[in-house]
Structures are given as structure tokens and as C-alpha cells.
Structure 1
Amino acid sequence: MELKLANRVMSLTPSSTLAITAKAKELKAQGIDVIGLGAGEPDFNTPKHILDAAVESMNEGQTKYTPSAGLPDLKKAIIEKLAKDQELSYQPNEIIVANGAKHALYTLFQVILNDGDEVIIPTPYWVSYPEQVKLSGGKPVYVEGSEGNEFKITAEQLEGAITEKTKAVILNSPSNPTGILYTEDELRDLGKICVEKNILIISDEIYEKLIYGDVKHVSIAQLSNELKEQTIIINGVSKSHSMTGWRIGYAAGNQQIIKAMTNLASHSTSNPTTTAQYAAIAAYNGTQEPVEEMRLAFEKRLEAIYDKLITIPGLTCVKPQGAFYLFPNAKEAAELTGYSNVDEFVEGLLVEAKVAVIPGSGFGAPDNIRLSYATSLDLLEVAVERINQFIRVKKAK
């Protein structure tokens, strides 16, 4: 049977992160010693008190449907978290729990976008932003965050990209893939434009707990009442509590938008997984020591490998301030090793050096590569040395 698929899915670009990870796993299955630096998830297990809470909930019979927007106790825990960490006040009807932050974003775009509406997406961007916008009938409008400005866009750039069709702008701080944060002053400047032009701000804060050095995470929503009303915060427990597979995220913001998202969720997923919601309650209400232990481990890895990475011929790298990614520029490295572009360089790195990294083309930055340091320090050091030797040997030929 030949079936014509819907146009909306035919235009989708496959995830480059999943593609390279799949190829690395395929090589590993063949017994090849591949080091994968493509992971977008912490390499730590979910903390034990969270696991215990999940088991307890199941043993107590908490295995049925919940409200579409999430358990009241989980909403309460999220509200208390936002009050403690961001000094923001929300009501339960301004919160929706979703099947991961990705699903919260997807649902948000579905309810705010009509055909032709534009969403401003700074580059480099997380791979799913433009695809989700397109699936909702919207149009991604890319604004380059230059390497010289730490991959961040300016208020002038934002204002220049706004048209009568602009509906929203996405801000991801700390960023995937760059690990860079916007400062309070930068957020104020961007926020001023959004308020003046009545542009919705989508603030993706999923990496907020993973920050290094003396920088501080600031949510644009906490800078003024006007900005809070203009902002939808996206967050969840996936990265902060090493709970990627549990699929619990949330959106916080405008009551009308949250209600529409809840209505859509009631016809799509019914509710987030019940057991995972009880686990998330324990994540937010329980000890935060494992979160800090994981953050310190990531910081140690970053400090150990960053200086080694930037000594490799042809690689330059803005030092990340958060998340668990390095995003070096590899254009010169590709040229030195005889490849016509960075995508081909990444392929060669996997096949010959047995190191899997993600090409920056999937993030709207074709001259860069993304390396995740969500793996052991020993493996990271071996991987960086393999990259070093690969470039130096190929360069000498």
C-alpha cells in the first residue's frame, strides 16, 4: 500500500543528535571502541529518594489517571520552587505539567501559532525549536548569535527581526548547545523590546541548575511584572535531577495560554505519567544535595578538559557557563584535515578516531561541533586526545 504522508511531517528535518548517537551505538554493537560525546542527558542515575518515592506511589495504588494539567501536589511543588529560586508567584491555573519540557514547548506552539505566524529563534538553537514551530504552521525566523558576542543576540538584532507577523521569541539560557547565559542587563534590553512590540517570550530554563563559576541564572520573568506577564517559562526535572526518561516538564505563565494547553493535552496525552509525577514531587520537595553533587562533577569535568580542547589545532571555543556542552568552532580543523565542511569532519572523526560528536549544522551553526561532557572524566580525556591526534596526524599528511 502506498500512502502519502501529511505535508507537515514530510518537511521535518531528522534530529542530528539522535542520528549520530544511533550510528555510534551501531559501531559499539559491532565491538568498536567508540566514545560517544553526543549525549544530551546526565550520566548519573536518578537520586535514590526519587526512585523510592516512585516505587512507594505505585505500591500505594497511585497508578490511575491524573488531571490533564498535572497532580495538584506537583503543581504546588513547582509553584514553591519558582517562588524560592526565582521569587516569582504563580497560581495553579498558571501551571501545566507536561510529558517533558519538549512536550510543553510543542503544546505551547500548537496553541499560540496560526499559519504564517513567525517565531524568532536565535542561532545556535536547540534542534527541536524550528521543527516544532513548523509543525504548528509557524515560520522560524533565525537571528544569529555571533561567536564574538558569545552566541547571544542583541536587542537591536531582535528589534530588526520583528515584523507584523512576529508572535514570539525563544530565549534559552543556559543554552543548548553553547552553554552560555544571558546577563540580567541583556535580558532587560531584550525584554524591553518584547514588551513594546507585544511579543511573547518563551524562556527555556531547563539547564538553570547546571551553572559554573561566578555567573548567576536570571529568569527574564523575574525582572518586572510586565515581563512576567509577557513570558512563558519552560522547565522540568530532566536535566536538574537526572530524570530525562521520566518525561516531566512544565510551563508557567499566562492563564489563558495554560488553559488552552491543558485543553489540548486532554485530547492528546490525557495526563503526564502518574508515577513520574510522584517522582517529580520528591525531586522538588526532597533534598537537593544530589543536584549540587552533579553540578560540581560537571564543573570539574569542564575545567579539566576545556584548556586541553583549545590547544588542539583548528579548534576555538567560547567557554560555557552552564549546561554540559562544549561548542567549539571546527571550521579550521576541517580545512586542516582535508574535509570540505564540518559535517564531513564529524563523520571522519567518528569513523577514524572513534569519537562521536554532533555537527553544529543541526543547531544552525555549521562551523561548530557539540561535545557533551556528560560522561566520565577518564573517557572525556581519552576522547579529547583522540580528537587531538586525529587532527594533528591528518594535518601532517
Structure 2
Amino acid sequence: MNSLDKIFDVAPDADRFSNPGTWESGGAPWASGEQQTLTCCRVIDETHDVRTFEFRVGDGTPVRFEPGQFMTVSANVHGQTVERCYTISSPPTRPYLMSITVKRVPGGTMSNWLHDHMTPGHTLRAYGPSGTFTSTAARSNKSLYLSAGSGVTPLMSMTRAGIDLGLNRDVVFVHSARTPADIVYRKELHRLVELSPGLHTYFVCEGIGDEAEWHGPTGRLSLSLLSEWVPDYREREVFTCGPAGYMHAVRELLREGGHDTARYHQESFDIPSGVAHEPVHEKEPAFHETFTVRLSRSSKSFVMDASETVLSAARKAGVAIPSSCSQGVCGTCKTKVVDGTVDMKHNGGIREREIQKGFRLLCCSRPTSDLTLEL
């Protein structure tokens, strides 16, 4: 039985999509702390300022991940190493190809570099898939996807994955954009609706732009509009991604409408207010204990102070570890602790089942003994 056969054999239809076992059998593991080379295969213009970059990984072996996860890409831009997190927009049901969809942002270092330099045959370094905003966050027969701008990408991965599995899932996909010309994946979403009777899509645009024949609603998503399109939204598992302001508005809208917040999931690389950059112990010890951190793969080691986070100490020692938020939110620095213990105070960037397997977020972990890390 090959890896693709396993995807379709791992669970009954009702459970396949949200069962982590489905995606764990889809290809070779790629640890979030491991860096590999991506080779660009194709570049697709989605809109006037959004492009999809398709890659094969390393030697072309299949890679497993969960729909909705992201990876951290690294490039040398103007002589400096720049790292950014991008959602994997392709589905894990196509494990031989991984894609990111990137909007050109005015002044954006990585987005502009990708748009200007990434063409077929060029390479990019990246760290393995990570993140907890995935289809396995909840099991539900009815879902509501709410996105704005480039926040459509994780929800597109989920949509593609469900259809590739042959499931006619009950999904309502509501996307907000500036103008009709800014709707990412517009044609593909229309095509996917034809393939899956259970999928329904709606679009709302702030203005019509140059598309005078646009007959959809203009303005912003409202409770009355949502109630018209999705009368049973209170019964659905909601997945939301977009700019911070959009997600805040959507969450308040749903709360006003009586939706259960326990069934609400959102993705954001924005750091929530009130999260401390470097949480400290209430009482600093009179002296600082030191511990040795060993890296199992490279056989390197360094000594660190017990008051430091492992990530901070590793950086001082010249050890490259992928990270983004540095506050226990995004999950990029998730690493397996092979031996030893740490005090970890995270902010939702790691799941309980990952913790049970020995993984920790190094940005918010302080050693309580000597450590061996799977790095």
C-alpha cells in the first residue's frame, strides 16, 4: 500500500477530513525545525498583485502536513537573511507539490522579492510545516469558512483537501475582498462548487472597482448578510483567517449573533495584545543556574542560563532555529525535547497531543535540567 492509498484507507468518510491520522499517512515527515530546499516548478498569477508559487521539496519526495498549516521560508534579500511565514495553499492530498500564495505588499521585503525573483527553477529554503489552525482542530459535518484578502489560503487548502478526498462536505465559504478583481481563486472556487454540491461560496466586496457588471453585495460582511446566506451559521464550526481587524470584527459579529465561541477557530500571525515578549519569574533567584543543551542531530552543544528561553540562548550560540512570533503563538519554533525538562508557558501555539509526544515551543520554554533537542 503506497502513501496515497493510505490517505483514503485511514478512516471512514465521516472522519477522514478532521482525523490527524489521515494526514500523518500522506507522505514523509518534515519536522518544523528542519530546513530543506524548495525548487520552484510554476508561478501562477491569481490577481494583479497575488501570485501562487508551486514547489517540489528536496529530492521530490512526498511531504505530509495538515490542511491549513504554514511553513517558514527563508531567503537572502539584499545580503540579509529574511524569514516569513506563509500558509501552504496546496492540499496535503497532493504531497508531491507544495504551494504558497503571496500578495505583493508595498514595502514588503519578502513578498516583493518573491514576486520579482522567484521563477521556475529557482530555489528557496524553508522550514517544515507547522501551526494549529488546521482541519483537525475540530470534527464537524458542517463548516463555515470566513476569510478576507490573502487569508483565503488556509481555507483553500482545506477546501481542496476535502474535495480531493471525494467527500461532499457541507461547507459554506464566505470571502471578503476589496473589489471583484481582488478575489483570489475566484475561478477555481466556482469550478469547485460544480464538483462538490455540498460547497457553497459567497463573495462581498468593498467596491466594484472596474467590474461594472458586478451584481454581488458591496460593503462589508454584516450579520444580516451572513444570516441571509447561512441561516444555520450557529450550528457550524467556524474557521476564520484574514487581517487582524477583519477577524476581530467577525468574532464580534458571530458573538452578537449567538454563535458558540468554543466552535470558533482563527489563524493570525499578529501577536495578541497583552502577551509579554519575555515572561519573567515573579521572583528572580539570587543566582542563575546554568544548563547544557545538546543537539542530537548536529552533535553541537551550548550552555545557557536558566532564566533565558531556549530560543534566545540558541540564537546567542549561533544555532539557527525557525521562529516567527517568539511568544508561543505561531508554533514555528516547535521542537522535540529528547531528554530533559523545561518550563513552558505558551499562548496556544502547540497542541496537547504534540506536548505528549515531547514537543515544546522553544520561544517560551526555560530549562529546568540539561536538555537534548532533536535538532
Task: Give the strand-richer structure, 1 or 2.
Answer: 2
**TM-score, scaled to structure 2:** 0.31
| Structure possessing the higher relative contact order (Cα contacts under 8 Å, 6 or more residues apart) | 1
Task: Give the helix-richer structure, 1 or 2.
Answer: 1
**TM-score, scaled to structure 1:** 0.30
